[in-house]
Amino acid sequence: MLPEPIRADAILPWEDGLILDAAEADLPGVSIVIPIYNSAAFLEKTLRSLMCQDLNGVELILMDGGSTDATPQIVEHYRDILAVVVMEKDKGQSDAINKGYERASQPILYWLNGDDVILPNTLVAVRRAFHANPGTEVVVGDAYLTEKDFSPIHHFRFSPEKLAFSYLLDYAAHHLIQPSVFFSRAAWNAVGPVKLDHHYAMDADLFLGMAAKYSFLHLPRDIAYSVYHEDCKTRDKRAESITELALVQARHGGMAEARRTLDILVGLFNEAEAASSVPAPAPAPQPVAPPRASDNVLEVQLAALQGTVEKNRALLLDLDLEAM
């Protein structure tokens, strides 16, 4: 039985009648880092999704970057399930993840953002997969990209072929869903930590590094919902996230793939430019008003986007020259 929620809308649709699948005593343990900052709008759902698991052998490490909203109250309400709680200013999500894993004690590692959910009985299934396949360093399950109400946007179904490095290198088209990826401490020690200067593609960089070194094991079941909403970093800062991903691909040897990713950015610029050139309907006569700062917002955005395109084409050219 889960505790009473702070907010009624935090109750998950599968809580009623949930039967927990108990973990066997010999299964490897898992440490889960929860990196958050001002996550009150969704965090309670994330924590309740973790409670829809057998948490024996599971270590939950919550890393809060100094939230100023209602996050501390939510954390306190669910404090009993958390092995570690750190609430202090950090250098961003990558820093929180790295510091969380420094505190981790279990052989399987995972992180769950404060706006995603893990599906019921996932942890025991993942632990069994590692246990039944000695030498496995990365396990990837299927997942959904969803709206905030969990209505599906896209269903990601993987396969061994879709988890190969050569396939994943075109990451903009063939990306993983971060909350569906579990990895061993050995894989983290070999490829991590995540880079502090990566704010959008830190998971892509980490997973591409692991894919280059290890074969991934596919777990054919849905294990997570990655929630796509208006406050997502990759939605709010799409140009920046595309640019960072292209540079990550280039550094992993995918120059052609990086250029294709940058073409997405060029497409965004062209779409915005086309939208700005569509003549607006003639307005009714109005008194002349002084210009407003917002009148030139689109022009400023277009100029910034064009600058990003040109700057990062130059960066990729530099990488090309360094590789010669």
Question: In this structure, are 71 and 197 located in the same domain?
Answer: yes
Q: Region 262-275: what's the mean pLDDT?
A: 79
Distance CA 77, CA 150 (A): 24
Residues 10 and 253: their CA atoms lie apart, in Å, by: 43
Are residues 73 and 110 both part of a single domain?
Answer: yes
- The answer as to whether 150 is a domain residue is yes
Helix (H) or strand (E) holding 177: none
**DSSP secondary structure letters along 18-33:** --PPPPPTTSPPEEEE
Same domain, 242 and 121: no
Are 42 and 163 part of one and the same domain? yes
Cis, peptide link before residue 193, omega less than 30° from 0: yes
Same domain, 225 and 257: no
In this predicted model, what pLDDT tens digit does every residue of 11-67 receive, in sequence order? 999 999 999 999 999 999 999 999 999 999 999 999 999 999 999 999 999 999 999
Residue 283 lies in a domain: no
Domain that holds residue 248: 238-277+296-323
Query: What tokens were used for 177?
Result: 């869903």
pLDDT band at 275 (very low <50, low <70, confident <90, very high): confident
Q: What angle do CA 104, 93, 36 make, to 5 degrees?
A: 80
Count how many domains the chain has: 2
Give pTM, 2 decimals.
0.84
180-196 per-position pLDDT tens digit: 999 999 999 999 999 99
For the chain, what's the residue count? Answer: 324
- Whole-number Å distance between alpha carbons of 63 and 93: 9
Same domain for 153 and 91, yes or no, is: yes
Among residues 209, 230, 251, which one ends one of the domains? 230
Cα–Cα distance measured from residue 143 to residue 157, given in angstroms and rounded to the nearest whole number: 7
139 and 266 share a domain?
no
Strands 30-36 and 152-156: unpaired
What are the Cα distances from residue 275, in Å, to 25, 86, 121, 280? 60, 46, 47, 10
